[in-house]
Structure 1
């Protein structure tokens, strides 16, 4: 098996020169009439990507659960975007083994489900296939690479605003859909084929030369916005308007960027200013997924958001008081619900 390496940041930072792997190279250079794509996690992002890729001619299967899965199996997947409604046919299954083999697997589950989902999907990833992680944090690529090997894993920083509107229906609410896609170890031919498929599906695919930096750039914004909104139980607008809570946002951004640099990630020199500008342009009603999950009593991804920054700060000697406070305050609710209450099942 051709393997790359796992880098010091816990991400894919092995040599980009992967030995030729026979059928792996053959598969991606020749291509398929229909690339077999499996989307694991049929929430807003996963459902949106599934609909776009199916519309572009890919052979798409979706792994989900609950009423959303049942509706997709019965009626197909409906995408509402830009005032238009379109229904596409997808295979829907509750288990990767029932979804069939795939040349490309897009992993769109929550961070706490990544390892189990990758292990379940591994036997269904075709020889020469690639799994792409699209989680909000920075840990998923390394988690997947430990199971599959880094040459079979890529990552994307996804900038897509979508949600499940009703069972079987995904609403895309943003003006764009961008994926910053990259890998240090997957074959270049495979990455080019994935990027081409994404563009044919109408996605703005940016081939990131440094995927770690791309992931950390998004993570710096997400960790600050999701952490402070969940800590205060408030949407973004009131936090920006109050100098005290605006200061928390500023410090959370600074802590995340400082940790990234201490880990050796080549984030932009003006990352803090860029992140603050993005924060200022967001809707005042914005509720990141961490806050929504907290309000609904669901499990939280906080261990891989503020928790990742807290642990990296300890390892590198960087003080992270705001991010560490967020982690400490939300960790008791990471299992879902309030103490003594049972968390409701997730919808996808």
Structure 2
């Protein structure tokens, strides 16, 4: 299978690295010093599950050099999907499948607007991973896992084939009964911790041990849960309890990627997390005052980070 990893950051680097250890043809889209290091020395992955170095078929920042992929895995930020879809479409065909694995609740919907809907899958990942230095991916905590499926939740031959490739690469992957529920379970968790981390600028250990902030997280999660149900997403009753159990298991020094982006003055996923819940809450008639407070407090900083006068990176998150 010819697989294109669109964005070789923490998530894409880990997946692409593992897949590149197989006989499948793996292409990585990366840029700048990270790309040069991969081209010269291979992609080094330091993981809680074991360290390795992988050499992909191709690492490039030029889409015109790629072979037509059978599968495109989007490992960029949610807000970058629209542009990435436009960029990649001309290099694919009617058989190419598109799998989004980034954070966010509406990534599939974004891709449906830009790509042939019958070629778009749904997915998510659970992992802590980031670029440690050019050419080096660090996964210091939580063994990565991946969930994906068809939009209608059928166990199609093509989704089974992708699962087989992931398992061949030693990736912990599953096809859940309902991929939409799985996505919203992850979305509730990440929305609960990310922007509050950006506001407080401290790691998860301090956040969860501070009663006032922990209660703020709980109210954030309750609003996300209410919006999900109003949209017809049947989240289980224990979803919030499971999210906070996951928060309790995080290493105390852990920070979310959106929190790190906010702290570093980079464009973040604020709009796709709390901003999305605020807008969807208004659409379905669910009040979201805590999410709106968090969103509005961070929005000026987000706007500055996205200003054309503010230096920032390109459209590929690597």
TM-score interval (norm. to shorter) = over 0.9
**Structure 2 residue 52 is matched with structure 1 residue 85:** yes
1:311 paired residue number: 279
2:13 paired residue number: 47
Report SS of the residue matched to 2:141: strand
Q: Which residue among 28, 36, 44 is the counterpart of 1:62? A: 28
CA contact (8 A) 1:336 1:343 kept: no
**Structure 2 residue 72 is matched with structure 1 residue 105:** yes
Instruction: Give, in angstroms, the shift of residue 340 of structure 1.
Output: 10
**Structure 2 residue 125 is matched with structure 1 residue 158:** yes
1:30 paired residue number: none
CA contact (8 A) 1:40 1:109 kept: yes
Report SS of the residue matched to 1:203: coil
Instruction: Give, in angstroms, the shift of residue 241 of structure 1.
Output: 1.4
Q: CA RMSD, aligned part only?
A: 2.0
Deviations 1:118-141 (A, max 9, x none): 111112223322110011101211
The 2-side partners of 1:151 and 1:339 are apart by 36
Q: Which residue among 187, 192, 209 is the counterpart of 1:241? A: 209
Question: Mapping of 1:107-122 within 5 angstroms?
Answer: 107-122=74-89
Q: Which residue among 152, 161, 164 is the counterpart of 1:196? A: 164
CA contact (8 A) 1:300 1:336 kept: no
After TM superposition, what 4+ stretches of structure 1 lie above 3 angstroms from structure 2?
335-341
Task: Could you tell me which runs of 5 or more consecutive residues in structure 2 were left unpaired when the two chains were aligned.
Answer: none
Report SS of the residue matched to 1:124: coil
Structure 1 125/209 Cα, relative in aligned 2: closer, same or farther at 3 Å? farther
Instruction: Give, in angstroms, the shift of residue 339 of structure 1.
Output: 8.3
Give aligned pairs, total. 314
Instruction: Give, in angstroms, the shift of residue 72 of structure 1.
Output: 1.5
Task: Could you tell me which runs of 5 or more consecutive residues in structure 1 were left unpaired when the two chains were aligned.
Answer: 1-34
1:140 paired residue number: 107
The 1-side partners of 2:142 and 2:77 are apart by 24
Normalising by structure 2, what TM-score?
0.93
Instruction: Give, in angstroms, the shift of residue 341 of structure 1.
Output: 7.0
Instruction: Give, in angstroms, the shift of residue 236 of structure 1.
Output: 1.3
The 2-side partners of 1:174 and 1:182 are apart by 25
CA contact (8 A) 2:227 2:284 kept: yes
